[in-house]
Chain A
Amino acid sequence: MTTPIIECRNLQKWYSGVHALKNVSLTIHPGETVGLVGDNGAGKSTLIKILSGVHHQDAGEILIEGREVHFRSPKDAMHHGLETIYQYNSMVPTMSIARNLFIGREPLKWKIGSFGLMDQKRMRQESVQAIADVDLHLRSPDALVGELSGGQRQGVAIARAMHFKSKVLILDEPTNHLSVKETNKVIGFVRGLKAQGLTGIFISHNMQHVFQSCDRIVAMARGEIVFDRPTTETSIDEVHDLL
């Protein structure tokens, strides 16, 4: 068996009185696309936020490729190749696509410490390439992200993750508020992850979407993992009944 890319051991998380994660253990292998389902408040986002460095667990360990990690910020998680796309999208609407792609990771022509002059030409060129790589067709890297449709924005976010050679792409309800057509596009992106050699965690309320695009289904309820099986060995009805 390969080394798991992500291994969570006995994660616990409290939010001032709310026990949001109760002893959650989850092992994910490279190349898997895991569908994470569960009712509102089950703790899915909490688990994701810990994995992406936004929150820190109160107890338990996280191992990435076999080594224990302590994420203090989203940046730490990104350094380890974990990139998260939220339902609201992690794009700044008032900035161009090229600038959005490189927020926090701007290529610098000249610098003192970690501050310096951005290489804007490179940002433009590479963003054109990155967007083309996910089969997204946009007019210009200088277009404002706010002018894109919701699906296009998620596409740019995915292009960004790919461009920075992320190993794990986490999508927390990326299809909320999207039209059917746009949703299908995002599901297409999720299905394409495997071909690109990426590991995926896809959270959605819609069982159909998860079953269409993931090869393993994990269900959470009240802060615990209550179900974990390959997609081929279960059915939408079974998961529905359980929740």
Chain B
Amino acid sequence: MKRFLKIYLDKPELAGLALLVILIAVFQIKSNGILLSVENIRGVMGLLPEMALVAIGVTILMICGEFDLSVGSVFALMPMSIAVMLNGGVPFPVALLLGLALCALIGFINGYITLQFAIPSFITTLGMLFIARSLTIVISGGFPPLLPDNLPTWLFTDYIWQGSILRMSFVWFVVIAVLAGAFLSLTNFGNWIRATGGFNEAAASMGIPVKRVKIVCFMLCSMLAGFAGLLQVLRLGSPLPSIGEGLELQAVAAAVIGGTALAGGIGTVFGAIIGTLLIRTIDNGLVLSRVDANWFKFAIGLLTMFAVIANAWMAKMSRKIKVEAHK
């Protein structure tokens, strides 16, 4: 156990990857080979980009030291706002930009309130979870508006080619993941995000505009969540007001399982993707193995707890220093 914890500490995303391979092998056998069948992978790969994009945003925000519980609601609100605009005659590209701007605004509000009034973002975004969900239902007018059938789904959710396993959404996911990963580890702004989450006071004393860094992360997180929601709606063909419920916690679980520290400063985009893959595999694998579906949350809970225990170890050394700071 200790040995495994240690490996997990050094490279949590690699440990996650190892676990993923094991789980795939187990479920492949238990499901009599259905797990890795083309049809099943095709289904899993529809949902994966959507969830992973949300998890990437949440991970970046957690690295800078904040939380966002409103991603599940923003996931529903953004496509709903676009659907309403489309029904009002707004052309799709304009509606898309306005939808993304709405997400950016929500992220900004989350960040501004959190920082201005020094409230834990856990609480601010819990408020936004209700507000954004409520707005989604209100603007939907009680029943989901119909989407026009001339939307550019070829750009977002159609299969890349006829009979392909992957949809265009997978391409978006890969491109965004690569960009986000590069942004985080290769740019100076990425360095500031890590510094801000790693030790806010030190970053501030080195002249990092910590509040602005955090607000940018809040905005990125909301925009990714909204965009992911749009992908789901385009895939399903209908803007249901209830999509994304519970997604916020799955995204946090994915981030933490992928090695993101709850205290901030540590985490990777790759880890977020591994975390998401693990959750998707467990979900899908349990269903295929004809296990009672209610065990899904149990398994995710167990995995999250394990990750958090490892996280606590990881945080020990940094906490030691932070305690000194507040004396």
A117 contacts partner chain B, Cβ-Cβ < 8 Å: yes
A60 contacts partner chain B, Cβ-Cβ < 8 Å: no
Give the contact stretch, choosing among A21-29, A98-106, A129-137, A214-222: A98-106
B325 and A99 contacting across the interface, CB-CB below 8 Å = no
**Total A-B pairs in contact (CB under 8 Å)?**
105
Known: A74-B205, A104-B192. A115 touches B187 (CB 8 A): yes
In the docked arrangement, what's the CA distance between A146 and B321, Å?
A: 8
A239 contacts partner chain B, Cβ-Cβ < 8 Å: no
B203's partner among A89, A103, A118, A146 (CB-CB below 8 A) is A103
By a CB distance below 8 angstroms, the chain A residues around B187 are 115-118
B189 and A90 contacting across the interface, CB-CB below 8 Å = no
In the docked arrangement, what's the CA distance between A69 and B67, Å?
A: 38
A93 and B321 contacting across the interface, CB-CB below 8 Å = yes
By a CB distance below 8 angstroms, the chain A residues around B265 are 92-95
By a CB distance below 8 angstroms, the chain A residues around B197 are 94
A163 contacts partner chain B, Cβ-Cβ < 8 Å: no
B202 and A118 contacting across the interface, CB-CB below 8 Å = no
By a CB distance below 8 angstroms, the chain A residues around B204 are 54, 74
B201's partner among A78, A88, A116, A153 (CB-CB below 8 A) is A88
In the docked arrangement, what's the CA distance between A177 and B325, Å?
A: 10
From residue 154 to 205 of chain B, which have CB atoms closer than 8 A to chain A?
Answer: 186-189, 191-192, 194-195, 197-199, 201-205
What 0/1 readout, one digit per residue, does chain B (304-327) give for beta carbons within 8 Å of chain A? Answer: 000000000000011011101111
From residue 190 to 241 of chain B, which have CB atoms closer than 8 A to chain A?
Answer: 191-192, 194-195, 197-199, 201-209
From B191, B192, B203, B266, name the one whose CB has the most chain A CB atoms within 10 angstroms: B191
What 0/1 readout, one digit per residue, does chain A (94-124) give for beta carbons within 8 Å of chain B? Answer: 1100010011111010000011111010000
B200 to chain A, nearest CB (A): 9
A86 contacts partner chain B, Cβ-Cβ < 8 Å: yes
B257 contacts partner chain A, Cβ-Cβ < 8 Å: no
A126 to chain B, nearest CB (A): 15
In the docked arrangement, what's the CA distance between A175 and B324, Å?
A: 11
By a CB distance below 8 angstroms, the chain A residues around B318 are 93-94, 146
A142 contacts partner chain B, Cβ-Cβ < 8 Å: no
By a CB distance below 8 angstroms, the chain A residues around B106 are none
By a CB distance below 8 angstroms, the chain B residues around A87 are 324
B261 contacts partner chain A, Cβ-Cβ < 8 Å: yes
By a CB distance below 8 angstroms, the chain A residues around B195 are 92, 95, 99, 103-104
A78's partner among B198, B207, B261 (CB-CB below 8 A) is B207
By a CB distance below 8 angstroms, the chain A residues around B261 are 94
By a CB distance below 8 angstroms, the chain B residues around A92 are 194-195, 198-199, 202-203, 265
Chain B residues within CB distance 8 Å of chain A: 186-189, 191-192, 194-195, 197-199, 201-209, 261, 265-266, 317-318, 320-322, 324-327
Please name 30 pairs of A and B residues whose Cβ atoms are closer than 8 Å in the assembled complex, sorted by A.
Answer: A54-B204, A73-B209, A74-B207, A75-B207, A78-B207, A86-B205, A88-B324, A89-B325, A92-B265, A93-B199, A93-B317, A95-B195, A95-B198, A95-B265, A99-B194, A103-B192, A103-B203, A104-B206, A104-B208, A105-B206, A106-B191, A115-B189, A116-B187, A118-B187, A120-B186, A144-B317, A146-B317, A146-B318, A176-B324, A177-B327
Cβ-closest 6 pairs across A and B: A88-B325, A75-B207, A94-B265, A92-B198, A94-B198, A106-B188
Chain A residues within CB distance 8 Å of chain B: 52, 54, 73-75, 78, 84, 86-95, 99, 102-106, 108, 114-118, 120, 144, 146-147, 150, 153, 176-177
Give 16 A-B pairs besides A118-B186, A118-B191, A153-B321 with Cβ atoms closer than 8 angstroms.
A89-B324, A89-B325, A92-B194, A92-B203, A93-B199, A94-B261, A94-B265, A94-B266, A95-B198, A95-B265, A103-B208, A104-B195, A115-B187, A147-B317, A176-B324, A176-B327
